[in-house]
Each structure stands twice: as C-alpha cells, then as structure tokens.
C-alpha cells in the first residue's frame, strides 16, 4: 500500500529514532512511503491558537500535497498531535464549502487545492496498521513475538479526544488499538490509569508544574502496574515522558526510570529488527532492560 507520508517536525528533530524506525518498519509491512518533503508543520494546536485560518490553510496545503501523490491510498502521519491538529482543521474544511474555497484561495498561487472527498483519509500509523494493513497481516510477519514483555500503552490526547471529530462513530474502538496491536505482537498490554491521560507536553514552557506532574503521574501509574516499558504513537508525548522524565521524577517525588518506546520501534522489534537499528540507544531513559528481555526471547 502506497501512502503520502507526513513524518511531522519532531520525528525529524528531537526524536530522529522515530523517523528512522518508520523508514525501516514500513517496507516490512508493505507500506510504500512517499514522504511529503515540501509539507509544513501541522501547527500542533498552537498555530490554531494564534489564527485558526492560518492553521487551516497550512494543513489544507499539506492535504493538497498528499492528494497530489500518485497512487497513494491516503495520507499517513506518525504523531498523535499531527493527527489531532490536522483532523481539527479537516473537520472545519469539510464542514463548509465557502470556507474551504476561501482557504483554497490562499493555495492557488502554488497550484494547490484541498478537495473534500469522502474516501480520502489521513491516518496515524497506528490506525493504518489496524484498519488498512490489518492485525492478521501484522501477526503473520512477527518473527520475534514479544512474549512476556509488559507494555503500558500511552495514546496521547490528540488521538483519542474528541471522539466525535476523530472518527470514533465509525471506529468505536480506536482507543484500544494499541492493546490490540500489542496482542498481535505477542506482548502483554498493561492496564493502568494513565493510558488515555495527558503527558503534559503542551504546557512545558508555560506551566512546568502542571506539565511534569502529569508526565510523572502517568509514568508512576505505569510503573505501579508493573510495566516493563511504555509505548506511544506520539513523539511529543515521548519528549515529556522520556526526555523530561528525570525532571518529572522530581515533581512526583519518586524514582521512575521507565523506558518509553515509540510505537514503530516496538513493531520493529517484533518484526525482527535489532534495538540499535531502531535507535533504542538514543533514549534519555535507557532501554537496556527491555533490550535484555528481547535478547532473551531471541535466545529462547
């Protein structure tokens, strides 16, 4: 399946291991990526906060670029925040013809136009795996079942709320996809209070106390539920959960030390890729324990 691929900003900046992992994992699942290298930032909600029209126009531009990719089934993103911010813009663009043509007017000089079409989609890697590739197809390709690995899913707000905008009417269990995927990979999903909660990243510069208390509490909950690691489809969540974790520990006044994996890394492990190929040595919180478990699996 060929998709127009929007990797987002963070996967090419602060979390390059995510970008690299997707590049390795996608072909193994017969996903052909055509990267949208001219596309712009989704705005992460911040541009919409500044100017809704600007955010909608920038994302209409990305959608238009994606719609121009020959033979693509749709557009794929690898970031919960991109998914949420783009879905929000798409909802408005699709709702009102006049508004859409006004926004498209800004794209005209580039010869671009976003067309509303019922069957065109923009899906996160997670949604794509479950809904387009299919968990059976994933399961078939697993060469290293992650048996015994206890994984705490962390979705990221933007991919689970608001359900009405995010297609839950049609796909009511999108907030259990990680667990379903984990089962397909052979891992054990860990249930804990924080899985649909907020990592706190959006306010890290404005309300550090709130931000890191959130990150710290969710990690602590996962820890208390005996998780070996957390996994997230959102690189922004990853920043707060991994990069900021040492700081977050202070806000919840306890030791944490919880490895946090990007979703494609975990898929890659099950498909047989080595931790290093997936950039797992580039995390702030070491992933050695997870790696050791994986190595034991390979040995067994």
Partner 1 sequence: MADYTLKLRRFDPESGKAAYWEDFGVDLPPERSVLDGILQARSRDDGSIAIRCSCQAAICGSCAVRINGKTALACNTKLGEAQDMARSRRGREEITVEPMGNFPVLKDLVVDMDAVHWKKVQRVVPWLLPEGDPPEREYIVPAEAMIDITQSMACIQCGACVGACLSLEADPEFIGPAALAKAYRFIGDPRDGQHEERLKDLAEDPHGLYDCTHCFACVEVCPKDVAPMNQIMRLRRMATSDYEIKDKNSGYGHEKAFVNLIEKYGTLHESQLLPRSYGQGSLIRSQVDPSSLKQLTASLPTVIGGLKSGKVSPVKALIHHKLPDQKQIRRIFHEIESEDERLELNLYIVGEEATEEEGAMAEGKGSET
Stretch that binds partner 1, among 122-130, 180-188, 241-249, 253-261 (CB under 8 A): 241-249
Which residue do the tokens 């919180």 mark?
A: 285
Stretch that binds partner 1, among 96-104, 145-153, 178-186, 270-278 (CB under 8 A): 96-104
Q: Is 71 in the site for partner 1 (CB under 8 A)?
A: no
Site for partner 1 in 183-212 (CB under 8 A): 197-198, 200-203, 205-211
Q: Which is nearer to partner 1, 56 or 228 (CB)?
A: 56
Site for partner 1 in 22-41 (CB under 8 A): 37-41
Rounded to whole angstroms, how far apart are CA atoms 10 and 18? 9
Q: Which of 25, 31, 48, 260 binds partner 1 (CB under 8 A)?
A: 48
Q: Is 264 in the site for partner 1 (CB under 8 A)?
A: no
CB of 143: closest distance to partner 1 in angstroms?
27
Q: Which of 13, 27, 71, 272 binds partner 1 (CB under 8 A)?
A: 13
User: Of 91, 173, 92, nearest to 127 (Cα)?
Assistant: 173
Q: Please count the CA atoms within 13 angstroms of the CA of 195 that sit on its side-chain side.
A: 18
Report CA Rg, the chain: 19
Backbone φ and ψ of 261, nearest 5°: -100, 150
For residue 14, cis peptide bond before it (omega within 30 degrees of 0): no
Q: Is 148 in the site for partner 1 (CB under 8 A)?
A: no
CB of 70: closest distance to partner 1 in angstroms?
19
Q: Contact letters (x/-) for partner 1, 103-132, by CB under 8 A? A: ---xx-xx----xx----------------
Q: Which of 4, 25, 47, 130 binds partner 1 (CB under 8 A)?
A: 47
Q: Can you name the residues that pair with 124 across neighbouring β-strands?
A: 77
Q: Which is nearer to partner 1, 4 or 39 (CB)?
A: 39
Find the farthest-apart pair of alpha carbons in the chain and give their distance in angstroms, rounded.
62
CB of 50: closest distance to partner 1 in angstroms?
5
Please provide the distance, in angstroms rounded to a whole number, between the alpha carbons at the two ends of the chain.
34
Rounded to whole angstroms, how far apart are CA atoms 249 and 103? 44
Backbone φ and ψ of 260, nearest 5°: -125, 120
């Amino acid at each position: 399946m060929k998709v127009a691929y929007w990797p987002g900003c963070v996967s090419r900046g602060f979390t390059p291991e995510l970008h690299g992992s997707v590049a390795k994992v996608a072909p193994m699942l017969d996903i052909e990526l055509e990267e949208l290298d001219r596309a712009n930032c989704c705005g992460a909600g911040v541009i919409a906060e500044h100017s809704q029209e600007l955010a909608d126009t920038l994302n209409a531009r990305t959608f238009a670029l994606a719609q121009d990719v020959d033979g693509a089934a749709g557009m794929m993103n690898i970031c919960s925040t991109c998914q949420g911010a783009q879905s929000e813009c798409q909802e408005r663009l699709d709702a009102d013809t006049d508004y859409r043509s006004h926004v498209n007017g800004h794209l005209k000089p580039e010869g671009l136009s976003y067309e509303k079409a019922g069957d065109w989609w923009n899906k996160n890697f997670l949604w794509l795996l479950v809904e387009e590739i299919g968990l059976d197809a994933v399961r078939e390709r697993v060469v290293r079942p992650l048996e015994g690995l206890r994984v705490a899913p962390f979705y990221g707000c933007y991919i689970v709320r608001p359900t009405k905008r995010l297609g839950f009417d049609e796909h009511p269990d999108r907030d259990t996809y990680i667990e379903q995927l984990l089962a397909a990979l052979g891992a054990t999903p860990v249930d804990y209070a924080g899985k649909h909660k907020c990592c706190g990243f959006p306010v890290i510069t404005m309300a550090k106390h709130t931000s890191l208390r959130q990150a710290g509490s969710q990690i602590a909950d996962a820890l208390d539920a005996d998780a070996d690691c957390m996994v997230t489809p959102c690189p922004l969540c990853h920043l707060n959960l991994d990069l900021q974790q040492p700081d977050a520990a202070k806000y919840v006044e306890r030791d944490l030390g919880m490895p946090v994996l990007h979703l494609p890394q975990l898929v890659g492990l099950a498909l047989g890729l080595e931790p290093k190929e997936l950039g797992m040595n580039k995390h702030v919180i070491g992933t050695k324990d997870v790696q050791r478990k994986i190595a034991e699996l390979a040995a067994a």
